[in-house]
């Protein structure tokens, strides 16, 4: 499928899992936390935020497995989805948020999204420049910052706190 502003395709390395993304992401972000670096196998993980109804699995649901990550820097449980055949990391979802965070490396073709935020920049590898406005992960001991759809319309990239459950 040729990427278009209204629809994107993607999937895992072995092509067992294929998906379609409808529309543009709410956010495109970079995470430098140690768990996302391990999950992506890279110096950071770029993720596109999508509503569940805009992330359509076309094939390979039987290959999709989940790892429940309870030891995160934010304190939130993160459900990490990957292909059981080739090991590609596909997406993640935080327990307190319905949106799916799609691994940017699994999206087919080229896109011109520019990250609007970076989190866990204190864990950034020294050779990776800060690409956009860093967002503090913790507002206080009880508030973890996670962007919400309402925030995407602001030019300053504000985020709303969501309390861990």
Nearest C-alpha neighbor of 45 from the set 32, 64, 28, 55: 32
pLDDT tens-place string over residues 114-154:
888 888 888 777 777 776 655 554 433 334 445 544 444 33
**Percent of the chain scoring above 70 in pLDDT:** 75
Nearest C-alpha neighbor of 25 from the set 3, 40, 41, 43: 3
Cβ 99 vs Cβ 50: under 8 Å = yes
- Model confidence at 72, pLDDT cuts 50, 70, 90, reads confident
Domain boundaries, the chain: 7-151
For residue 5, what pLDDT is reported?
Answer: 66
Buried-exposed string 95-127: b where 16+ CB fall within 10 A, e elsewhere:
eebebbbbbbbbbeeebeeebbbbbbbebbeee
Higher pLDDT: 88 or 44? It is 88
Cβ 134 vs Cβ 148: under 8 Å = no
Six-digit token string for 18: 């294929």
Fold topology of 7-151: 2.170.150
């Amino acid at each position: 499928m040729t990427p278009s502003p209204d629809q994107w395709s993607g999937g895992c390395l072995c092509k067992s899992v294929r998906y379609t993304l409808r529309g543009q992401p709410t956010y495109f972000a970079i995470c430098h936390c140690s768990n996302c670096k391990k999950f992506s196998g890279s110096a950071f993980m770029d993720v596109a935020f999508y509503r569940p109804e805009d992330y359509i699995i076309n094939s390979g649901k039987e290959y999709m497995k989940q790892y429940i990550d309870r030891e995160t820097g934010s304190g939130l449980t993160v459900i990490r989805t990957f292909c059981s055949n080739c090991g590609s990391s596909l997406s993640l979802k935080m327990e307190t948020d319905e949106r799916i965070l799609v691994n940017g490396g699994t999206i087919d073709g080229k896109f011109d999204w520019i990250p609007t935020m970076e989190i866990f920049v204190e864990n950034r590898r020294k050779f990776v420049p800060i690409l956009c406005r860093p967002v503090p992960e913790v507002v206080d001991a009880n508030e973890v910052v996670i962007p919400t759809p309402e925030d995407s319309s602001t030019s300053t990239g504000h985020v709303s706190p969501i309390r861990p459950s």
